[in-house]
Chains A and B, each alone.
Chain A
Amino acid sequence: MGIEPGLGVERREARFAWGLAAPALVTILLVALFPLAWTVWESLHLHDLRMPWLGRPFVGVDNYVEAVRDERFRGALAHTLFFTVVTVALELGLGCVLALAMNRPFRGRALMRAAVLVPWAIPTVVSALLWRFIFEGRSGIANALLVEAGVVRAAPVWFIHTDLAWVPVILADVWKTTPFVALLLLAGLQNIDPALYEAARIDGASAWRQFRHVTLPLLKPAILVALVFRTLDAFRVFDLIYVMTGGGPGTSTEPIALYTFHSLLQNLRFGYGSALSVIGFAVTFALALGYVRFLGPGLTETRA
């Protein structure tokens, strides 16, 4: 015990707290930071499991230079951005409509809310296979419907066209994830005080103005959360495309995650594959930071 008992206790308590937190901190260090650091270190080496005779020399940033020059990687980056922007926009728009609909009182609302989650509950690989079957071959449902309705005369082979191949992929993702977005937004909607709408109605605000000036600003936190979740998720897209197109035709639907997987685990280029992972991580991290930096103030404002 010291001369100032208060400080001593505080210090002891602080030390005790660190002691309690230590196992968790060490675990985080081991399972999160160590692999990350190891990947960065690996990315600075030439390490090709298939060519052990080349050794594992330190090559500095060579792998990163190769990635920047790699046309396939730049393509993968562009495909990932395209996929992210399109699917996130569609999912937010549709999710918002769905949430507004589910927020109104009607018979069987609870059932509706549960039913809407079904696509989200199906494993991605299964839903990807499902959508591939829908669009594959002459007898796929999509082609049968299109021909029946007279939209097209001959059934297209969706997965061999650079543009058309995106249609099933994006549809599948939107179908699967819109319910998730809708549910997040629904939670936000239910936090809005009904008195505000009443006040707006008394002031003579139209439905649109109510939505524009009451719903949207108050929904902003929920929208932000959905946006962050979905963007980061879409940016890491892998299983859906792996199952549906395999990145084809050629490499025209290949996202970063798939190319990284291919370099790392199929071609077993550990150095180069690690560099690609690090770039993917950096971009995702920058996106997350960007959201917090530019959209975060809005978030705190509305909360205040």
Chain B
Amino acid sequence: MARAPAACYPAQAETAASGPPGDAAILTTTRSRPRPRRPSGVWLGLLLALGCGPERPAGPAVVTFPGSELGAEGRVLRGQLARFMATHPHIRVVQRPTPDAADQRHQLYVQWLNARASEPDILQLDVVWTPEFAAAGWILDLDRFRPPTDSFFPATIAANTWNGRLYALPWFVDVGMLYWRTDLLRAPPATFAELERDAARVRAARGLPYGFVWQGARYEGLVAVFSEYLGGYGGRILDGGRVTVSSPAAVEALTAMRDEIHRDGVVPPAVLTWHEEEARFAFQNGQAVFMRNWPYAVGLLRDSAASRVAGRFDVAVMPAGPGGRPSAALGGQQLAINAHSRHPEAAWEVIRYLTEPAQMLERARGVGELPTRPALYDDPALSRALGLPAERAREVIDHAVPRPVTPVYSQLSDILQIALHRALTGQQEPAAALAQAAGEMQALLDRVGLGRRRSADGD
């Protein structure tokens, strides 16, 4: 049944084989040359003219999309796809249930894509997967569709760009933010030193069990938190193909994190087993002065039925240390097209529709997810939708820093997670842990050919 619409969007190889020899030649050139703008345009035009030009196709093109089907997010998405199909009768979108847990979804995607499956046509990617999938040749380079990159936050575009080409369109953005208690403090701290002072003072005065809570279990969340401290101290994880995670700034940042736990008691040692939700529970129950978390918590904390801090908290950008600037880890979901999709144009239409301002506003209202288009932040409707001043969210996003954009990000992060956790649980000194991690990370980059020699064209 999925084969029927091939008349409209034929598989490339198939057409190349059946079409005139000239077409095949064009296809080969597009494959081997780096930037075949003209020929590929001609090719596309030809495709459209041959397949879908004058006569209407027999049936709609079926595009499969593994978006979340759960809860409010599922409801919003189903509504949007239904509207899309009503206005685009030549395309039918079929949702394909996938696990919501990032690890499991990643594993599933990799299995499908390795097998060159043509479905799902559209992939929902975590921001750190885009370079991996692009380098593997699993997703289409979107430049062929001339996406309106100027309308999106530059950081989100940078995170989805590999070798100078855009491979996924940012759908919504996630940033690490500092949640603080407006009933206990007048203003959010600008520096880590201020945060430590405020936390200690308020805890002593009010008898709160925790000062500052974040995500410190050995998983990706710990790297996100670390990258914010790191930016605050002026360090970075990668510089092109060179690993810089053992720099003095990085050692300072990690030492500060450790001391907040084990020396100053600002951060409870229990965070070293915590993920997002444990931190949220502590803050929501009024047990902590500060929390670092993603924007999803805003809506939950505002719900006075479950939250003891409803109306008594606000968000701000994370503080900075000496020598750096406030930083927010950049997360979020992107939409990309399977390189073996039989209907890339139809898939692109779906992506374009889902990333329209109206759809983004609806997502913000229904699920509290932040749009990836800066223009929307001037729209008062967004503040109403989010339940927090849009300019506050905008300020945090302006400080967003992508985690290293590299195809081997997950492997690098894996090494780093262990080093960070060892240092924070007192098994190793921060300097030693980071030096060892940097050595292993560099060895990995060098082994897969992404090492130092690329540093010249990096950044």
Q: What residue in chain B is nearest A158 (Cβ atoms)?
A: B273
Counting chain A CB atoms within 10 Å of each CB, which of B103, B111, B273, B407 scores highest? B273
Contact residues in B for A247 (Cβ distance below 8 Å)? 218
- Contact at B421–A248, with CB atoms within 8 Å? yes
Q: A50-B136, A157-B269, A267-B414 are in contact. Are A248 and B217 (CB under 8 A)?
A: yes
Contact residues in B for A161 (Cβ distance below 8 Å)? 425
Instruction: Indicate with 1 or 0, residue by residue over A66-78, a CB within 8 angstroms of chain B CB atoms.
Output: 0000001000000
When chains A and B are docked, how far (Å) is the Cα of A265 from the Cα of B410?
Answer: 13
A51 interface contact, C-beta 8 A: yes
Q: A50-B136, A157-B272 are in contact. Are A162 and B425 (CB under 8 A)?
A: yes
When chains A and B are docked, how far (Å) is the Cα of A251 from the Cα of B269?
Answer: 17
Instruction: Indicate with 1 or 0, residue by residue over B211-234, a CB within 8 angstroms of chain A CB atoms.
Output: 000000111000000000000000
Instruction: Indicate with 1 or 0, residue by residue over A127-160, a CB within 8 angstroms of chain B CB atoms.
Output: 0000000001110000000000000000001011
Q: Which of B111, B136, B137, B427 contacts A249 (CB 8 A)?
A: B427
- Contact at B427–A250, with CB atoms within 8 Å? yes
When chains A and B are docked, how far (Å) is the Cα of A252 from the Cα of B426?
Answer: 12
Instruction: Indicate with 1 or 0, residue by residue over B123-145, a CB within 8 angstroms of chain A CB atoms.
Output: 00000000010011100000000
Q: What residue in chain A is nearest B427 (Cβ atoms)?
A: A250
- Contact at B427–A50, with CB atoms within 8 Å? no
Q: What residue in chain A is nearest B278 (Cβ atoms)?
A: A137
- Contact at B107–A268, with CB atoms within 8 Å? yes
Known: A160-B270, A160-B273, A268-B110. 17 other contacts (CB 8 A): A49-B111, A50-B408, A50-B411, A51-B135, A51-B136, A53-B136, A136-B273, A138-B270, A160-B269, A161-B425, A246-B218, A246-B219, A248-B218, A249-B272, A250-B427, A251-B422, A267-B410
Counting chain A CB atoms within 10 Å of each CB, which of B132, B408, B421 scores highest? B421
In the A-B complex, list the 7 residue pairs whose CB atoms are closest, starting with the nearest: A250-B422, A249-B425, A160-B272, A248-B218, A157-B269, A160-B425, A250-B421
A206 interface contact, C-beta 8 A: no
Instruction: Indicate with 1 or 0, residue by residue over B417-433, a CB within 8 angstroms of chain A CB atoms.
Output: 01001100101100000
A32 interface contact, C-beta 8 A: no
Instruction: Indicate with 1 or 0, residue by residue over B76-108, a CB within 8 angstroms of chain A CB atoms.
Output: 000000000000000000000000000100010
Kindly provide the distance from the CB of B365 to the nearest chain A CB, expressed in whole angstroms: 35
When chains A and B are docked, how far (Å) is the Cα of A54 from the Cα of B422?
Answer: 32
When chains A and B are docked, how far (Å) is the Cα of A160 from the Cα of B135?
Answer: 37
When chains A and B are docked, how far (Å) is the Cα of A249 from the Cα of B428?
Answer: 12
A6 interface contact, C-beta 8 A: no
- Contact at A157–B273, with CB atoms within 8 Å? yes
Q: A161-B425, A249-B422 are in contact. Are A49 and B270 (CB under 8 A)?
A: no
- Contact at B427–A162, with CB atoms within 8 Å? yes
When chains A and B are docked, how far (Å) is the Cα of A249 from the Cα of B273?
Answer: 9
Q: What residue in chain B is nearest A50 (Cβ atoms)?
A: B132
Contact residues in B for A49 (Cβ distance below 8 Å)? 110-111, 114
Q: What residue in chain B is nearest A254 (Cβ atoms)?
A: B418
Contact residues in A for B187 (Cβ distance below 8 Å)? none
Per the 8 Å Cβ criterion, residues 237-266 of A in contact with B are: 246-252, 265-266
When chains A and B are docked, how far (Å) is the Cα of A161 from the Cα of B425?
Answer: 7
Kindly provide the distance from the CB of B229 to the nearest chain A CB, expressed in whole angstroms: 19
Per the 8 Å Cβ criterion, residues 392-421 of B in contact with A are: 407-408, 410-411, 414, 418, 421
- Contact at B273–A266, with CB atoms within 8 Å? no
B17 interface contact, C-beta 8 A: no
B305 interface contact, C-beta 8 A: no
Size category, B interface:
20 to 34
B205 interface contact, C-beta 8 A: no
- A interface residues with partner B (beta carbon < 8 Å): 49-54, 72, 136-138, 157, 159-162, 246-252, 265-268
Contact residues in B for A137 (Cβ distance below 8 Å)? 270
Q: Can you list 14 residue pairs at the A/B interface with Cβ under 8 Å?
A: A51-B407, A52-B136, A53-B136, A157-B272, A157-B273, A159-B272, A160-B272, A161-B425, A162-B427, A248-B218, A250-B425, A250-B427, A251-B418, A265-B107
When chains A and B are docked, how far (Å) is the Cα of A247 from the Cα of B422?
Answer: 12
Contact residues in A for B407 (Cβ distance below 8 Å)? 50-51
B448 interface contact, C-beta 8 A: yes
Q: A53-B135, A137-B270, A159-B273 are in contact. Are A267 and B411 (CB under 8 A)?
A: yes
When chains A and B are docked, how far (Å) is the Cα of A120 from the Cα of B414?
Answer: 35
When chains A and B are docked, how far (Å) is the Cα of A20 from the Cα of B345?
Answer: 57
When chains A and B are docked, how far (Å) is the Cα of A246 from the Cα of B272?
Answer: 12
When chains A and B are docked, how far (Å) is the Cα of A250 from the Cα of B137?
Answer: 33
Kindly provide the distance from the CB of B214 to the nearest chain A CB, expressed in whole angstroms: 14
When chains A and B are docked, how far (Å) is the Cα of A265 from the Cα of B414?
Answer: 14
Q: What residue in chain A is nearest B433 (Cβ atoms)?
A: A250
- Contact at B103–A266, with CB atoms within 8 Å? yes
Kindly provide the distance from the CB of A265 to the nearest chain B CB, expressed in whole angstroms: 6
Kindly provide the distance from the CB of A153 to the nearest chain B CB, expressed in whole angstroms: 15
Counting chain B CB atoms within 10 Å of each CB, which of A50, A137, A161, A162 scores highest? A50
Contact residues in A for B270 (Cβ distance below 8 Å)? 137-138, 157, 160
- Contact at A50–B272, with CB atoms within 8 Å? no
Contact residues in B for A248 (Cβ distance below 8 Å)? 217-218, 273, 421, 425
When chains A and B are docked, how far (Å) is the Cα of A257 from the Cα of B37?
Answer: 49
Q: What residue in chain B is nearest A155 (Cβ atoms)?
A: B270
Q: Which of A50, A157, A160, A246 contacts B110 (CB 8 A)?
A: A50
When chains A and B are docked, how far (Å) is the Cα of A258 from the Cα of B399?
Answer: 37
When chains A and B are docked, how far (Å) is the Cα of A247 from the Cα of B218?
Answer: 9
Kindly provide the distance from the CB of A105 to the nearest chain B CB, expressed in whole angstroms: 48
Kindly provide the distance from the CB of A272 to the nearest chain B CB, expressed in whole angstroms: 11
Contact residues in B for A138 (Cβ distance below 8 Å)? 209, 270
When chains A and B are docked, how far (Å) is the Cα of A53 from the Cα of B427?
Answer: 37
Kindly provide the distance from the CB of B376 to the nearest chain A CB, expressed in whole angstroms: 34
Contact residues in B for A160 (Cβ distance below 8 Å)? 269-270, 272-273, 425
Contact residues in A for B428 (Cβ distance below 8 Å)? 250
Q: What residue in chain A is nearest B129 (Cβ atoms)?
A: A50
- Contact at A54–B425, with CB atoms within 8 Å? no
When chains A and B are docked, how far (Å) is the Cα of A161 from the Cα of B421?
Answer: 11
- Contact at B421–A249, with CB atoms within 8 Å? yes
When chains A and B are docked, how far (Å) is the Cα of A138 from the Cα of B219?
Answer: 22
Kindly provide the distance from the CB of B445 to the nearest chain A CB, expressed in whole angstroms: 12
When chains A and B are docked, how far (Å) is the Cα of A267 from the Cα of B427?
Answer: 25
Kindly provide the distance from the CB of B86 to the nearest chain A CB, expressed in whole angstroms: 39
